[in-house]
Structure 1
């Protein structure tokens, strides 16, 4: 009985290997054609992104206080997180340290969760737009 099971397994294995030997992927060429308007749209989008004022995006404020402490916190943050933009702004009477440049609230909230461990008073906000004088 065991001999028949062994013989059956051997035949199945041999036939499977034989079939696999003849299986191969299809050979051919892929041609991708795109509308020339796509390039114009990409160029237009790049121009818009360059013109966008980055001060109007969401930011995380990690500190508000005197100049000495604000500068110290800014340097410490830059040393640990060199890939995140850091700004120090003066709004009477305090200096504020703002980090990040987030497009969506979700991105900002995720980053806030990371920053809250080190800076418990941090929060997300959108800076007010500056009014242009005529």
Structure 2
């Protein structure tokens, strides 16, 4: 039986690009977000993780479910999957890398090879629906 990592991610599109993050020591970009803590709702996780990683406040009432995606977990043993539940939302503040985040970048579909497998599925979803801007 596959091990599933439950993650929440933020989809932030601006000017035809999507916000990506790269953690210290990693070679791939990931959509901002992270793992749920015990007892947390999706919205609680989204708000906490984005504050920790990017030093901005998600406007909770603007959070809208974008979709859920599942793929092999990058950097984990075979049979480990990540299930990424994604939300769009507005934010307050100025985006800045924080904690384990070394870099933020605005990515396009051309950057697809530089992101994790589950993020590649999300990039494809955006491309298929003409949502890049």
TM-score normalised to structure 1 length:
0.27
**Higher gyration radius (CA):** 1
Specify which structure has the higher proportion of helix.
1
Q: Higher RCO, 1 or 2 (CA under 8 Å, sep at least 6)?
A: 2
TM-score normalised to structure 2 length:
0.27
Specify which structure has the higher proportion of strand.
2
